[in-house]
């Protein structure tokens, strides 16, 4: 593509029907970003909100987001999980400020409108006015019905202890949303065991939210950017791998099984940066295979648009993508284990969570490359990225040397955004 005279085009210029060259504008346009919020986050899609184990008791709640909209996941007295929007029906105030807590009801501090844990409006101060000298003054009109002024209630899907929500009452079932192939990998990780929350970490990354999805749809970069992975044998070119997508190519799983033959240095692959580096504490990589893995040692699943499900050896976590404008998102990691883990396994999972934290440089690396990509995109939005590794097609593969999952996501993006 020659550099055209328009540095700041108003619409993205794709090359034909393909998705192997992605216009920078898709990452920099406010108009496109708002359309993404509407079409991906607020309509027709299920978004991750949390884990049931975060709200074990009646009244427990967690404040989170769907897209940019603040929502509350709360367990009511019947044990059911509700997700309601954190916007008072009266004056629109975002009434809940705590990240987590326990409540009998929700009360907006502005005028004390109160709501049940299901989101129904319960009380309106002075709804019937105020009594003065035997007369009643003011109050809401006689035709005001509390039943018509509850909080916005989202559709809720729970499966295997994971909670998804949707603003769209017409949204398809969660199971058909994932499709059979991705549902299989979802159920492999969340197979009915009660989850145990181990902790959180959060990053604010100054880049477009899609770059995070692409990062986990890109098996090309881990061995090249995260040289740490290569040094300690967590990523090898001879890993047995599969890439799988749903029928619309929006979700994906990167499945890999650690090679067992030889040391990293004996296998032809990208060079290992500082191959002679040693861990001070080898227990960091004290990996114990678990029966539920069923073979693969790592499965990274991208559920479009909002979450990444991680299993990298014994470390399991969800990573919630919380967009905030076209050029920024919060990335919230929830590390968990399972109820039947013994203390040794819990410690192992916590140690291995560091494979991705600052100790492993992995999430720091990804945050930085996303930031630097975004900076370049902003400077020349007429240009485009290249995602042609493995060709131009969108297809499942039995190897990792391809950008097919990125092309798949943009196939879906174009189908929805250009409709």
Partner 1 sequence: MSTTTWIDALATDALPTDDVIGIEVDGRDIALYTVGDAVYATDNLCTHGHARLCDGFLEGHEIECPLHQGKFDVRDGKPTCEPATEPLRHYPVKIEGSRVFVRLD
Binding site for partner 1 (CB under 8 A): 104-105, 107, 112, 114, 116, 122-128, 130-131, 146
Nearer to partner 1, 123 or 184 (CB): 123
Nearer to partner 1, 125 or 391 (CB): 125
Nearer to partner 1, 44 or 139 (CB): 139
Least spacing, CB of residue 92 vs partner 1, in Å: 20
The contacts of residue 186 (CB under 8 Å, 6+ apart) are 159, 160, 162, 178, 301, 303, 309
Nearer to partner 1, 128 or 202 (CB): 128
Least spacing, CB of residue 110 vs partner 1, in Å: 14
CA distance 323 to 67: 6
Nearer to partner 1, 130 or 401 (CB): 130
Least spacing, CB of residue 137 vs partner 1, in Å: 12
49-96-155 Cα angle (round to 5): 35
Nearer to partner 1, 18 or 139 (CB): 139
- Peptide bond before 48: cis, by omega within 30 degrees of 0? no
CA distance 369 to 375: 10
Nearer to partner 1, 122 or 347 (CB): 122
As a residue count, the chain comes to 419
CA distance 216 to 367: 12
Contact 335, 316 (CB under 8 A): yes
Least spacing, CB of residue 289 vs partner 1, in Å: 50
Q: 317 to each of 5, 118, 125, 226, how far by Cα in Å? A: 46, 28, 43, 19
Least spacing, CB of residue 119 vs partner 1, in Å: 13
The contacts of residue 216 (CB under 8 Å, 6+ apart) are 254, 300, 302, 308
- For 346, the token pair is 């819990």
Where residue 413 falls (left for φ over 0; alpha for ψ -120 to 50; beta otherwise) is alpha
- For 360, the token pair is 């492993």
The residue with tokens 């550099």 is 3
Least spacing, CB of residue 54 vs partner 1, in Å: 24
Instruction: Tell me how far apart the terminal alpha carbons of the chain are, to the nearest angstrom.
Output: 25
Least spacing, CB of residue 52 vs partner 1, in Å: 24
Contact 59, 75 (CB under 8 A): yes
Least spacing, CB of residue 116 vs partner 1, in Å: 7
CA-wise closest residue to 272 among 237, 315, 314: 237
Nearer to partner 1, 97 or 128 (CB): 128
Least spacing, CB of residue 40 vs partner 1, in Å: 37
HSE toward the beta carbon, residue 254, CA cutoff 13 A: 29
CA distance 101 to 73: 11
Nearer to partner 1, 140 or 416 (CB): 140
CA-wise closest residue to 183 among 175, 194, 191: 175
Nearer to partner 1, 79 or 169 (CB): 79
CA distance 152 to 262: 57
Least spacing, CB of residue 106 vs partner 1, in Å: 10
């Amino acid at each position: 593509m020659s550099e055209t005279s328009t540095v700041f085009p108003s619409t993205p210029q794709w090359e034909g029907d393909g998705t192997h060259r992605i216009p920078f504008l898709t990452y920099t346009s406010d108009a496109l970003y708002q359309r993404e919020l509407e079409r991906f986050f607020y309509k027709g899609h299920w978004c991750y909100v949390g884990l049931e184990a975060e709200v074990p008791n009646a009244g427990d709640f967690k404040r989170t987001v769907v897209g940019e909209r603040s929502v509350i996941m709360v367990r009511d007295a019947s044990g059911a999980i509700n997700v309601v929007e954190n916007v008072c029906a009266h004056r629109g105030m975002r009434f809940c400020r705590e990240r987590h807590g326990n409540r009998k009801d929700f009360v907006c501090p502005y005028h004390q409108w109160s709501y049940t844990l299901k989101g129904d409006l319960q009380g309106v101060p002075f709804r019937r006015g105020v009594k003065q000298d035997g007369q009643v003054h003011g109050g809401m009109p006689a035709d005001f019905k509390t039943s018509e002024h509850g909080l916005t209630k989202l559709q809720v899907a729970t499966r295997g202890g994971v909670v998804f929500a949707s603003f769209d009452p017409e949204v398809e079932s969660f199971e058909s949303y994932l499709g059979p192939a991705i549902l299989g990998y979802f159920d492999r990780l969340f197979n009915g065991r009660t989850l145990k929350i181990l902790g959180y970490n959060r990053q604010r990354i100054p880049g477009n939210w899609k770059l995070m999805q692409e990062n986990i749809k890109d098996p090309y970069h881990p061995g090249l950017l995260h040289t740490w992975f290569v040094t300690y044998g967590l990523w090898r070119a001879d890993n047995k791998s599969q890439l799988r997508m749903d029928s619309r190519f929006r979700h994906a799983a990167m499945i890999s099984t650690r090679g067992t033959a030889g040391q990293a240095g004996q296998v032809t692959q990208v060079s290992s940066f500082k191959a002679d580096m040693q861990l001070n504490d080898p227990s960091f990589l004290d990996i114990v295979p678990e029966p539920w893995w069923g073979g693969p040692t790592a499965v990274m699943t991208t559920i479009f648009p909002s979450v990444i499900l991680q299993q990298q050896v014994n470390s399991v976590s969800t990573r919630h993508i919380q967009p905030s404008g076209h050029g920024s998102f919060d990335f919230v990691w929830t590390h968990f284990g399972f109820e039947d883990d013994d203390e040794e396994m819990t410690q192992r999972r916590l140690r291995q969570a560091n494979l991705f934290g600052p100790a492993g440089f992995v999430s720091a690396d990804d945050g930085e490359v996303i930031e630097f990509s975004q900076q370049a995109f902003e400077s020349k939005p007429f240009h485009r990225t290249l995602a042609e590794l493995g060709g131009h097609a969108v297809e499942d593969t039995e190897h990792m040397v391809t950008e097919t999952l990125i092309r798949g996501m943009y196939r879906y993006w174009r189908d929805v955004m250009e409709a």
